[in-house]
Structure 1
Amino acid sequence: MLKKTLATLALGAALFAGPLLAADYEIDRKGQHAFINFKISHLGYSWLYGTFKDFSGTFSYDEKNPDASKVQVSIQTASVDTNHAERDKHLRSDDFLNVSEFPTATFESTAIKTTGSKSADITGNLTLNGVTKPVVIKATLVGEGSDPWGGYRAGFSGTTSFKLKDFDINKDLGPASQEVELTLSVEGVRQ
């Protein structure tokens, strides 16, 4: 009888422990609930905005231990879109993204440090234009919960910035346009 009770308790603990462990999420691209946008100064007079339309990724998130979370994103660089066909063609060239040689940019987290009740610094390796460098994404939990289709979702936003020359993008755009800001807004569906 004691063995049956212990076995039942162990099975119950295993079944109900799931929500306390890190959950894996896939970034929701099907419903277009995720965006990777960027902005860079245009000559110091205005902002040029753009987006990458084709990307995928996953993340794990543990509400009880957010520092144990992980993030992985893959971007198809040819999907760059600034709402101007000639500029996009130039951005795809070897002056900038060099998409023929490096069609994919990636980010993979290496450490996450909680900075507040809903914020964290996500350190990771960004690979762009064939160069890998560490960057820090300032991330915020937007929210999490059940969706109307029987799934469970979590959403985050984050920003980082880096110098173009750090990724061997050496086209001189003038002193006001040396750095780009990247903004990610992702909603993941728990798997």
Structure 2
Amino acid sequence: MKKFAVFLFAALLGATAQAAQYQIDTKGAHAFIQFRIKHLGYSWLYGRFDDFSGSFSYDENAPEKSSVEVKIDVASLNSNHAERDKHLRGADFLDVAKYPTATFKSTAFEPLGNGKAKLTGELTLRGVTKPITIDVTHIGGGKDPWGGYRQGFSGTTEFALKDFGIDYNLGPASQTVEMILDVEGVRM
């Protein structure tokens, strides 16, 4: 009976184990942080951050316990136009000389069903920390061909530039930026 109790206790511990930890796969180019903003209200300007790192925890049986942390090298901004990128990295916008890093740390993950969720957390950009909410879709998860295990998510959010100290006048149609986040993580 004593062995059965130990076995049962161990099984219960396994069933309530913490969420699996995943490293965001930036080396394999399976993760992207992109943005878009209206250009004068006539078209979209797209860009991305090429250098970032992070990790997340995820438990398929208890997704509400999920969390994520990301660190972005803001100077890695790339909008496919060198002169514009120089301006965006300067003091009018991201001021990368003074604020070289942006971070995001989640505070809550709310499953909504059908693979959808709301991820809330603190974004620090240009030295300002503000809460943001990301609409998340779980793309899928499973074994990969190299013996690992992966999970993938897509997310979107938007925020006002002025909330993070960016007051450059781009016109009334260009006051908010949209972020598009696609993340694949490899279980550690």
Which TM-score band (shorter chain)? Answer: over 0.9
Question: What do you get for the CA RMSD once the two structures are aligned?
Answer: 1.5
Deviations 1:72-116 (A, max 9, x none): 111000000000000000010010001011100011111111112
Letter of the aligned partner of 1:126 in structure 2?
Answer: L
Counterpart position of 2:106: 109
SS at the partner of 2:64?
A: helix
SS at the partner of 1:32?
A: coil
User: Identity over aligned residues, as a percent?
Assistant: 60
Structure 1 stretches (4+) deviating beyond 3 angstroms? 2-14, 18-21
Counterpart position of 1:33: 30
The correspondence of residues 172-191 of structure 1 with structure 2, limited to 5 A, is 172-191=169-188
Counterpart position of 1:54: 51
Of 112-121 and 79-88, deviating more is 112-121
Partner Cα separation in structure 2 for residue 184 and residue 29 of structure 1: 12
SS at the partner of 2:88?
A: helix
Partner Cα separation in structure 1 for residue 16 and residue 8 of structure 2: 17
- C-alpha distance 54-19 of structure 1, shift in aligned 2 (>3 A): farther
List gaps (5 residues or longer) in structure 2.
Answer: none
- 2:131 maps to 1:131: no
Q: Post-superposition shift, 1:185?
A: 0.1
Counterpart position of 1:166: 163
Q: How high is the TM-score relative to the length of structure 1?
A: 0.93
Partner Cα separation in structure 2 for residue 135 and residue 146 of structure 1: 32
Kept in 2: contact 1:20–1:64 (CA 8 A): no
Partner Cα separation in structure 2 for residue 153 and residue 182 of structure 1: 23
Q: Post-superposition shift, 1:139?
A: 0.2
- 2:66 maps to 1:90: no
List gaps (5 residues or longer) in structure 1.
Answer: none
